[in-house]
Structures are given as structure tokens and as C-alpha cells.
Amino acid sequence: MGMVVVISLPFILLCLLLGFGCYFLGRAKGRKEMYTNAQILQLKWIVLRWTRSEKSDVSGAFLRNPSTFRNFISRDANSPFQPEAGRYHLYIPYACPWASRCLAYLKIEGLDKAISFTSVKPIWERTKDTNEHMGWVFPASETEEPGAEPDPLNGAKSIREVYELASTNYSGKYEVPVLWDKKLKTIVSNESGEIIRMFNTEFNEIAENAGLDLYPPHLQAQINKVNEWIYDGINIGVYKCGFAKKQGCYERDIRLFVTLIRFDEGAVHCPYYMKTGTCKYGATCKFDHPPPGEVMATATSQGTSASVGGEGKPNETVKELQQ
């Protein structure tokens, strides 16, 4: 009897992540040769340790940790965090999309002269010699890693140390981005969505492009609605795929895929998903069936069963379509 080997999409995504990581790290270092097996194993070890550290619920589904520093820079006179030029510093890694959007906002709004920033190294390393914790670290010199710089403010060796400077009893995750207050010597926020809102509205007297409003009042409801499903379906969808710890949770593989194809104008979209947000055919969908509303309307008007699904799909009644 032959053996059937099932490779889940999260495993494939993990392999792709490692492959792209090796490629871009090689480019960042100005080298064209492939990474050695030892270096690839180190990357796998880092990802596996990261996977084990992520939280999940009883079903094995990934649970994202909430951001812990949620202060807000405001022009309100009573706010301890005033929008002052030269007061704040942004810590980022170019390898993190959450952090990169903060840097993009900083540049677009013309705040890069008022708010300084530093990038850490693009790959995790041990943050202390006394334990095996892996995280974002600063290079020892400006020439060690292209694009990365030593911490110019606190002389910290890692983002972990920046958190410990802000709170000596901090016990959460050491995440990026980090918006640092030079005056109060603490972290303002590590929530990227709130950081970009601050950059958009609270620094208008300082920003070179103060007239640019990327979150206008008349579009805020629409932006919030779109952001909600992008965040859950794509941003966190990748984590749900990669960090699902039980087979039943791998259904999120399909959710991520059908969400991604909504952004591909050249793709053949699934009409079930486009109208309902789900597809009853799941991974077997061939994108060859009409939208459910049209099927049910046709079947009702004709008083007969409607054929859906194309080749290999059985005829289904209106009642079955509504299940």
C-alpha cells in the first residue's frame, strides 16, 4: 500500500517565508551566494521558537497578543505627550510590515525631520547572553548591517532593552514598531495603527505636508470597514495560517486565499465568496458557479433544481444552497 503525504498550506507558507528571508537577507548584505545550511537551520530554529511562543485558544487557533503601550500624542493641553519636533523617535525593522507602514506615513506626511527613526537588524538574534530569548537587536556598528544602526538614544543592544527601560517590570512581548518619548524616556505606543493616526492628525503644525489628510472624516467609516476585513483576513490571516496548532484550524488557509484573490484584478473570482464572504465548496472551488443569489432566483422562478459547480459537482436544490 502506498503512503499518502499531506503537506498543509501553513507548512508551505513557512518554507516560502524562509526562502524569501534567505534571499532578501543575502541581498541586504550585498552577497549573491546562497545561504549555508547552517544559516538556514538557524532561521528555521528562530521561526519554530516564535511559533511555539504564540498564544492559541483551546481549538488551536492563533490568538494575537494585544499591544501593551497605548498612549496617544495629542495637542490637548492636558496631554503629557505633546506633538513637539525632535521629541519622539521611531524604532523599526524594515523587515516588519507593521513597522514599515509607520515609516511610510512618517515620510509621506513630511515628519522625518521632526521625528527621527532607527532600524534594527532584519533577523532575530539572542537579546541577552543569560537566556535564549530571540528578538530584534541593534547592530554593534553602523557598518555591521546595511540600513541598520546602533541605538543612538539609549545605547540599547536590543528592542527588549528599550522595553525594559520604559518599564522595569514589563513581562509582555518585545514588539515593533516602538514610538519612544525622549523627554519622558518611555514608550508612547507600540500599536502601528494608532501611531499612524497620530502622525496624520496631531503633528499638522510641524509636518511639511500638513494639508495631506489620509484619514478624512467623510471617509473614516469606509476606511474602518475595509481595514477591519483586511486586518482579520490578510494581516492576521497570515498568522492564523502559520500558527494554527491543530488540523481543524487550517481552514484559515482557505480564508486567507479567498481574501487575497479579492486584490487580484486578473484572477477569476469566486462569486460565492464575493457576495457572501464564504464559499461552501472551500478548497474544491473551481470558480465556475454563479453567485448564490442568482442561482436561487433562477431555481425559484423555474420551480426546479439548479445545477451549480460545473464539472464534478452534483445538482443541488435551493434548500441545499441556503445551508
Helix (H) or strand (E) holding 39: helix 37-53
What's 119's DSSP letter?
E
- φ, ψ (nearest 5 deg) of residue 117: -150, 155
Residue in 22, 94, 170, 239 annotated catalytic: 239
Q: 239 catalytic, yes or no? A: yes
Q: 241 catalytic, yes or no? A: no
Residue in 91, 96, 102, 249 annotated catalytic: 96
Taking the CA atoms of 126, 131, 135 and 140 in sequence, report the sign of the dihedral they define.
negative
For residues 25 and 31, what is the distance between their CA atoms, to the nearest angstrom?
Answer: 9
Cβ atoms of residues 23 and 204 within 8 Å: no
Neighbours of 315 (CB within 10 A): 11
CA distances from 34 to 22, 31, 137 (A): 8, 8, 23
Neighbours of 242 (CB within 10 A): 21
Q: Are strands 116-119 and 125-126 parallel, antiparallel or unpaired?
A: unpaired
Taking the CA atoms of 191, 172, 152 and 118 in sequence, report the sign of the dihedral they define.
negative
- Bridge partners (DSSP) listed for residue 3: none
* 3-class secondary-structure state, position 161: helix
For residues 128 and 262, what is the distance between their CA atoms, to the nearest angstrom?
Answer: 43
Which residue type does 181 have? D
Neighbours of 229 (CB within 10 A): 13
Q: Mind telling me the catalytic residues?
A: 96, 239
